[in-house]
Structure 1
Amino acid sequence: MNIPKGTLIIIGGAVDKGSFTEQNFDPDVEKNLNFFEKGILNRIIRESCKKQDSRIEVITTASKIPKKVGSEYVRAFNYLGAKNVDMLNIDKREQANDDEYLERLANADTVMFTGGDQLRLTTFLGGTKFHDLLLQKYYHENFVIAGTSAGAAAASDSMIYQGSSSEALLKGEVKITSGLGLIQDVIIDTHFVQRGRIGRLFQAVVSNPKVLGIGLGEDTGLVIKENKSMEVVGSGLVILVDGRFIKHTNITQVPLGSPISIENLVVHVLSIHDVYHLDTHTIIMHEHVSVDDEY
């Protein structure tokens, strides 16, 4: 398997970029933007090959309100010192084969996929020249691909695109299709803690225990290097669901719509700066130093 030269950053949604439309917006922007200190968007810039001079394209294809969503990210990146940022919205498949859009992708150092509907990403981009070039740049260049919410969910080979949180452990309730294929042997769910989606990930993993389930909390992400090392960034939690040690499940015996039983499903909880190695299935927990320990 080829090792990508690029970096993949997947985010659970609701990135704390500050909303410039909030009525209580503070003129001192640093008080609104937690990412100045912890931050995911700041980390995207630091990972980009030219840092603040990097060419960043905010891809709004997943969103039904692309101009509003895209302009928020452009403005946020601008406040962090990245000035070479623009929006790129593809809402028809033919555009993803157009030379104009391909040239913009070819000239980009970083792309940021916004949230919305992940099916729009795979439907409009999957199997196009744009998709091929995206994979080529990721594997052969020092290229950063970031995605939040739908943009994160679509990154893997297999993608959850539908499923009720409340009924997720009923057989057949979780719908899975092919994603953009940037990373293999994982499946990603977003807004994970806030929307109670752990059952969706359980069913996705029990259906194919080789696949590691990744549940991303809001304003939380993973910086993935070489499709192996995953470091947690942001303010929340990452839940990992490992099905390799499942002893028994009744998913093949019960009819559609029936509850699923699973024995010995392993779950890990990670927070900021913890690292998980996909190749060895090992965790390195970050040593958090308390204020008392500093004196």
Structure 2
Amino acid sequence: MNVLGKLIIIGGAVDKGSFTEATFDANVANNLNFFETGILRRIIRESKHNEESRIEVITTASVIPREVGPEYVKAFEYLKAKNVGLMHIEKREQCSDPEVLARIKAADVVMFTGGDQLRLTSILGGTKLHDIILDKFQNEEFIYAGTSAGAAAASNNMIYQGSSHEALLKGEVKITSGLSLIQNVIIDTHFVHRGRIGRLFQAVVGNPRVLGIGLGEDTGLLITGDGKMEAIGSGLVILVDGRNIKDTNLTQVELGRPISINSLTVHVMSMYDIYDLNTHTLEIHNSQYFSPLITPVLGEDDK
């Protein structure tokens, strides 16, 4: 990948608690599983200046930006982040505004909220703001973080439509271009709760070079410039690798007809597991074959 920046992509439906609750602090232990699993805290820790980093929360994808945005600002501040801003970028013209561009240039982290990924890419795509983000990601210690729509838009290929229950009918999954921070992957979110594995199967069978990434709720990936992806959060990450597909009827069936696929490879990741995009290998953090709790019995030939 040869980039200095990092991606932190999150599956959505995160349990960050609600700072609108009057008794939030009293009930913090009950509604802050999000913090305990460490996704927001990890964003702060991975950033250039930690709690001093400049973080910009961007609500472009959301249809309720003035409700969603302040929740994330308060969440970061609760974790001792001292320099958090909020940007409601709702029109393409704003992406050329000198004040907006100056804030993005000064940011160590941009955090894109959930919503509609097509809204996000149609507003930001090809603008000066988009160019600055790509340049910073390539050449600086910069973090692009996104949840739900913000995660789905990070790759060069982006799923923007397709029902879960009809996902393996030809033509049901719609794909367009994303923001292109990472190549040769395609990302789907809310993956476990909404049963979207069929969407990812169809996305991958159409171009088996692309690795499908399905992010479960309250789960994410930290992707570094050396091509390593670490699972963070409380749930699951599903990877769909189509490089070994042997056969499919994709080009033979009519639109709306079921798709057959022979030999998809599927990996399941949980917290601390690492997948290498260069070697296509998965390292399971707590593997049963390398448990420090088990002392091997040595034979005479092993001593």
Match of 1:165 in 2: 164
1:239-250 to 2 correspondences below 5 Å? 239-250=238-249
Match of 2:94 in 1: 95
Kindly provide the amino acid, as one letter, of the partner of residue 278 in structure 1.
L
1:173-188 to 2 correspondences below 5 Å? 173-188=172-187
Contact map agreement 1:93 1:128 (CA 8 A) in 2: yes
Kindly provide the amino acid, as one letter, of the partner of residue 178 in structure 2.
G
| SS of aligned partner of 2:76 | helix
- Stretches of structure 1 that go unaligned for 5 or more consecutive residues are none
Q: Tell me the alpha carbon deviations over residues 225-284 of structure 1, each in whole angstroms, 9 at most, x when there is no partner.
A: 016100000000000000000000000000000000000011111100000000000111
| SS of aligned partner of 1:157 | strand
User: How many Å apart are 1:28 and its aligned residue?
Assistant: 4.6
Distance in 1, matches of 2:28 and 2:66, equals 22
| SS of aligned partner of 1:132 | helix
Contact map agreement 2:34 2:218 (CA 8 A) in 1: no
Distance in 1, matches of 2:287 and 2:54, equals 34
TM value normalised by structure 2: 0.93
Contact map agreement 2:48 2:108 (CA 8 A) in 1: yes
Moved more, 246-255 or 25-34: 25-34
- Stretches of structure 2 that go unaligned for 5 or more consecutive residues are 295-303
Match of 2:121 in 1: 122
Q: Tell me the alpha carbon deviations over residues 178-210 of structure 1, each in whole angstroms, 9 at most, x when there is no partner.
A: 000000000000000000000000000000000
Kindly provide the amino acid, as one letter, of the partner of residue 111 in structure 1.
V
Kindly provide the amino acid, as one letter, of the partner of residue 34 in structure 1.
N
**Larger CA Rg, structure 1 vs 2:** 2
Q: Tell me the alpha carbon deviations over residues 86-142 of structure 1, each in whole angstroms, 9 at most, x when there is no partner.
A: 111111001111111100101111010000000111100000000000000000000
Distance in 2, matches of 1:255 and 1:22, equals 52
| SS of aligned partner of 1:81 | coil
Match of 1:198 in 2: 197
| SS of aligned partner of 1:287 | coil
Kindly provide the amino acid, as one letter, of the partner of residue 10 in structure 2.
I
Distance in 2, matches of 1:244 and 1:30, equals 44
Match of 2:227 in 1: 228
Distance in 1, matches of 2:29 and 2:65, equals 25
| SS of aligned partner of 2:272 | coil
Distance in 2, matches of 1:14 and 1:187, equals 19
Identity over aligned pairs, percent:
69
User: How many Å apart are 1:17 and its aligned residue?
Assistant: 1.1
Distance in 1, matches of 2:145 and 2:242, equals 26
* Structure 2 residue 213 is matched with structure 1 residue 214: yes
| SS of aligned partner of 2:62 | coil
User: How many Å apart are 1:29 and its aligned residue?
Assistant: 2.6
User: How many Å apart are 1:288 and its aligned residue?
Assistant: 6.9
Kindly provide the amino acid, as one letter, of the partner of residue 279 in structure 1.
N
TM value normalised by structure 1: 0.95
Q: Tell me the alpha carbon deviations over residues 20-67 of structure 1, each in whole angstroms, 9 at most, x when there is no partner.
A: 235874525344212333210000000011100111000100001111
Contact map agreement 2:184 2:211 (CA 8 A) in 1: yes
Distance in 2, matches of 1:128 and 1:17, equals 31
Contact map agreement 1:30 1:36 (CA 8 A) in 2: no
Contact map agreement 1:183 1:227 (CA 8 A) in 2: no
Match of 1:58 in 2: 57
Contact map agreement 1:211 1:243 (CA 8 A) in 2: yes
User: How many Å apart are 1:167 and its aligned residue?
Assistant: 0.4
